[in-house]
Amino acid sequence: MMNPSKLIHASKPFVPPVHSIPLTRTNVTEEISIEGCNLSFSVTTRQGKTIPILKDCSLRIPSGQFWMLLGPNGCGKSTLLKILAGLLNPTNGTVYVKRPRSFVFQNPDHQVVMPTVEADVAFGLGKFNLTRDEVKSRVSKAVNAVSMFKYLQRSVQTLSGGQKQRVAIAGALAEACKVLLLDELTTFLDESDQVGVIKAVRNSLDSSGDVTALWVTHRLEELEYADGAVYMENGRVVMHGDAASIMDFIKTRQSAYIREISS
């Protein structure tokens, strides 16, 4: 069978967003794990009015990289992430996301279901018909990747929010997930927990080599951990590129906005 990533590139070329800049670590031969082409999403109100939420959004994320999705409140980040996760269908456009993919939600208390860390990370492995040793080995590797090994036997109820998020990420890694889609995981966390979760994702990608992550955030400072980023405004992808260029772009935009409101 043909590799689906090859199919999508052959059938539909990537259309860069308006302010797209060259991706320093990307070239045409690089494998892509996440691609959306000309995605639109609308909802229809009870009165029959169509409200556009996403407008012609395109993005492309190379395999093994940690990317962020940034933009003001209500610009469409969660909607785009849900489309990439297959939780929503786009009104128009095409999506390719390497499988298996995993969506991690914002609220840490919605992520963990089993009594201990070990049981929770092993929970999703039932469907794979693995031996006990294989389960043990996958769980240990995944829990190590998020630096939670010493908590293996801990009750999940005693963990901090960030630790619960790390356990949820370990669960996805244990299932050999290739794409992590993470929606504002650090919103409810204090500063040290925030750093713990973001470092866990960075470390998971660095140690596996073939896991790709897209992380939605409001926090500009988190860009320092990213390889690249997508910046959205008002339902559109307005910028797509390496993390440093996106940081400059957003800072310039913020300064212009401050100048505008103070004049």
Site residues (vs ligand ATP, CB under 6 A): 43, 51, 53, 71, 73-79
C-alpha pair distances (Å), 208 with each of 63, 127, 178, 237: 11, 22, 10, 29
Give Rg (Cα) of the chain: 19
Choose between 58 and 78: whose C-beta lies nearer to ligand ATP: 78
Segment 181 to 220, residues that bind Mg ion, using CB under 5 A: none
Least separation in angstroms between residue 95's CB and ligand ATP is 16
User: Choosing among Mg ion, ligand ATP, none, which partner's interface includes residue 74 (Cβ < 5 to 8 Å by kind)?
Assistant: ligand ATP
41 or 66: whose CB is closer to ligand ATP?
41
**Residue 246 interacts with which of ligand ATP, Mg ion, none, CB < 5 to 8 Å by class:** none
* # chain residues binding Mg ion, by CB under 5 A: 1
78 binds Mg ion (CB under 5 A): yes
Three-state SS for 32?
strand
Interface with Mg ion by CB under 5 A: which range of 5-13, 75-83, 112-120, 226-234?
Answer: 75-83
Q: Of 75 and 223, which CB lies nearer to Mg ion in the complex structure?
A: 75
Smaller CB separation from Mg ion, 94 or 187: 187
Q: Report the partner that residue 79 touches, choosing among Mg ion, ligand ATP, none (CB closer than 5 to 8 A by kind).
A: ligand ATP
Q: Phi/psi zone of residue 120: left (φ > 0), alpha (ψ -120 to 50 degrees), beta?
A: alpha
Rounded to the nearest 5 percent, the helix, strand and coil shares of the chain are 40, 25, 35
| Closest of 23, 28, 79, 19 to residue 52, by C-alpha | 79
Residue number, 19 or 219, with CB nearest to ligand ATP: 219
Torsion of Cα atoms, 67 then 73 then 75 then 81, to 10°? 40
Amino acid at 102: S
CB of 81 vs ligand ATP, minimal distance in Å: 8
Count of CA atoms in the C-beta half-sphere (13 A) of 13: 4
Residue closer to Mg ion (CB basis): 149 or 188: 188
69 pairs with which residues across the strands? Answer: 216, 230
Question: Residue 103 CB, nearest distance to ligand ATP (Å)?
Answer: 13
Positions in the binding site for Mg ion (CB under 5 A): 78
